[in-house]
Amino acid sequence: MEEDKKIIGTEESNKLPGLSLYNDEEPQKEKEQPLISGRITNALTESIIATPKSLERKYGLTITDETIKEAVDSNGNIPKLSAMQKGVLTALEYQLSLLREKPSVKAYLEKLKEKQSPEDNVREFISLEALCGNINGKEERWKKDKQTRIKDELKALSETKQLHIYKAQFKDEDGNERDALVKEYEPYINLTGRETHIQIGKRTAIAVEIEFKRIFLERAWDRYYLLPPSFFEATGSNGRKISTDEYKSLHILAMNKSWSHYHHDLPEAEKYIKENKIIDPERIDQIKEKALTHTPISFEELKAMLEKEVKHREEKRRFKYFLWEAMWALININILTEKSSIDWDNETFTLVYSENPSIPRTYKPGGIWEKNPYNYKK
């Protein structure tokens, strides 16, 4: 049975569409494959967690805008994705990013870089086992019921229009570069209906062909979050894999807000340290920590992204418990540091990003993160 499980997703090889078959007779060829890290683009994370307030704050758009009016419900809210759908979209983006050196994907990205609009969207076969491993944990990837659930969510996402907004540049007929605000109301993906079924021992591995909309690849070469190896195996403080909406929304929010800290603030801090010849380790840590600290975020901003409202006492108690757990999980996989905090009185939380998120932690969070101060039973 162990021999039957030598199939993984798109991480390291693509001998089969959307699948990688490890063959003991070709170990050297597998080792020679370049290791490509997964990425999550800012354009996609922003779209997943968008709210009317966030769109107005960033783009000056309100529900009077024609595109926004079409996308909001009767209460003026953008329909919310479920925690599962957020997980599926994150996993899809991760799997697609691993294929960015593939000629078809690379050609699409090159056109975007050249300020051109590609005529056709990228279509790729994606392994259900790979998605299942990302969403449910690597030990769950072969479970058919969980693969079926993911396939159902893919179908739902392909049938549900969502609002996609991003800033882009294009060349006009005279070759001049122009700034544009792109507003699209469409599904994130389309299922083409094509599938590849591969019989391996007693198991059938399935890859489905997915058409990815532009939101997945917009600015994928320079505005993204680089996922650490431990990202998809995050657990709560109880040691079990964490999959709450609070966690899914918080980790997408954290990734979305990280770009300026890693690509602007931290390089500026390092430049300042070098120019001023600062050698005191404590002072260096303070300067870098400031560069990696985001301004306090209100509870309300996170609540607005959740599938369920948080109004009643029990809902508020549950929110506090799972917000703490979500923060703990991000600290435990080294996306955030223990300097991150929650201000319960002012109902805000502060994200302090890790300088080296790709390096796994070797110990559990301590101090204020040693034990959840709230109790909650489902």
Locate tokens 């704050």: which residue? 57
User: How many domains, in total, are found in the chain?
Assistant: 2
- The structure tokens listed for 250 are 């918080």
Residues 62 and 135 both lie in one domain: yes
CB distance 247 to 329 below 8 Å: yes
Please indicate, yes or no, if residue 306 is contained in any of the structural domains: yes
144-158 and 128-136 are packed helices; what angle lies between their axes, rounded to 10 degrees? 100
pLDDT at position 1, please?
44
The pTM (predicted TM-score) of the whole model is 0.88
Using alpha carbons, list the distances in angstroms from residue 264 to 101, 182, 259, 268, 291. 26, 25, 8, 6, 9
Burial of 280 (0-12, 13-18, 19+ CB in 10 A): exposed
Residues 202 and 351 both lie in one domain: no
Please indicate, yes or no, if residue 318 is contained in any of the structural domains: yes
User: Which residues are registered as beta bridge partners of 203?
Assistant: 200
Q: Among residues 199, 226, 253, which one ends one of the domains?
A: 226
Using alpha carbons, list the distances in angstroms from residue 283 to 144, 275, 289, 352, 355. 53, 14, 10, 17, 15
Please indicate, yes or no, if residue 375 is contained in any of the structural domains: no
Chain centroid to Cα 265, Å, comes to 21
pLDDT at position 68, please?
81
Residues 52 and 194 both lie in one domain: yes
Please indicate, yes or no, if residue 196 is contained in any of the structural domains: yes
Residues 301 and 339 both lie in one domain: yes
- Sign of the dihedral defined by the CA atoms of residues 210, 214, 218, 224, in that order: negative
Please indicate, yes or no, if residue 233 is contained in any of the structural domains: no
Please indicate, yes or no, if residue 231 is contained in any of the structural domains: no
Using alpha carbons, list the distances in angstroms from residue 335 to 19, 232, 355, 371. 29, 12, 9, 19
Residues 112 and 166 both lie in one domain: yes
CB distance 285 to 347 below 8 Å: no
Using alpha carbons, list the distances in angstroms from residue 178 to 36, 111, 170, 174. 33, 15, 5, 11
Per-residue pLDDT tens digits of the chain, which is 378 residues long:
444 444 434 443 344 444 543 333 333 343 444 456 899 999 999 999 998 888 888 888 887 888 788 888 777 778 889 999 999 999 999 999 999 999 999 999 999 998 888 889 999 999 999 999 999 988 888 899 999 999 999 999 999 999 898 888 777 777 788 888 888 899 999 999 999 999 888 888 999 999 999 999 999 999 999 988 788 889 999 999 999 999 999 999 999 999 999 999 999 999 999 999 999 999 999 999 999 999 999 999 999 999 888 888 888 999 999 999 999 999 999 999 999 999 999 999 999 999 999 888 999 999 999 999 988 765
Q: Among residues 162, 196, 226, which one ends one of the domains?
A: 226
Please indicate, yes or no, if residue 156 is contained in any of the structural domains: yes
Chain centroid to Cα 371, Å, comes to 27
Residues 221 and 275 both lie in one domain: no
Structural domain boundaries, residue 262: 245-369
Residues 182 and 327 both lie in one domain: no
Residues 365 and 337 both lie in one domain: yes
Residues 182 and 267 both lie in one domain: no
Residues 186 and 56 both lie in one domain: yes
Alpha-carbon gap, residue 198 to 227, rounded angstroms: 29
Alpha-carbon gap, residue 309 to 313, rounded angstroms: 12
Chain centroid to Cα 350, Å, comes to 19
- The structure tokens listed for 31 are 């080792």
pLDDT at position 77, please?
79
pLDDT at position 378, please?
59
Please indicate, yes or no, if residue 144 is contained in any of the structural domains: yes
Residues 77 and 207 both lie in one domain: yes
pLDDT at position 66, please?
81
Residues 143 and 291 both lie in one domain: no
pLDDT at position 215, please?
95
Chain centroid to Cα 209, Å, comes to 21
Q: Among residues 177, 196, 226, which one ends one of the domains?
A: 226
Locate tokens 């993204």: which residue? 224
Locate tokens 């591995």: which residue? 205
